[in-house]
Amino acid sequence: MLLGQVIGTVVATQKESSLMGLKFLLVRAVDENKEPTGATVVAADVVGCGMGEYVLYATGSSARQTRATDNRPCDATIMAIVDQWEVGGEVRYKK
């Protein structure tokens, strides 16, 4: 998975029917220092996260390995809300 920060929302009413009911958020990928890596994805949210939160998101076929996204055309899914991460024993992020 990748570290990311939830930065926004996307509204799309005209869409593939199998996407109905899923909530999509704009997620900016970040590195271990919270610096943006340059990628921004639109990810399905299955954990109920809020704006600005740091999350873990999975991409590719792994993004469909949840009850909510099974067999749906999701290639990026937020899987967890991060409480804390450490690098070399030093806390780099704490919620």
Which residues bind to a copy of itself, rule: CB under 8 A? 1-3, 7-16, 18-19, 24, 26, 28, 31-32, 37-38, 40-43, 46-48, 51, 56, 58-66, 71-77, 79-89, 92
> Which residues lie below 8 Å from residue 17, measured CB to CB, with a gap of 6+?
none
Closer of 21 and 51 to a copy of itself (Cβ): 51
How far, in Å, are 8, 43, 53 from residue 56 at the CA level?
Answer: 16, 11, 10
CB of 67 to a copy of itself, least distance (A): 8
Residues 53/6/56/30 CA torsion (nearest 10 deg) = -100
CB of 65 to a copy of itself, least distance (A): 4
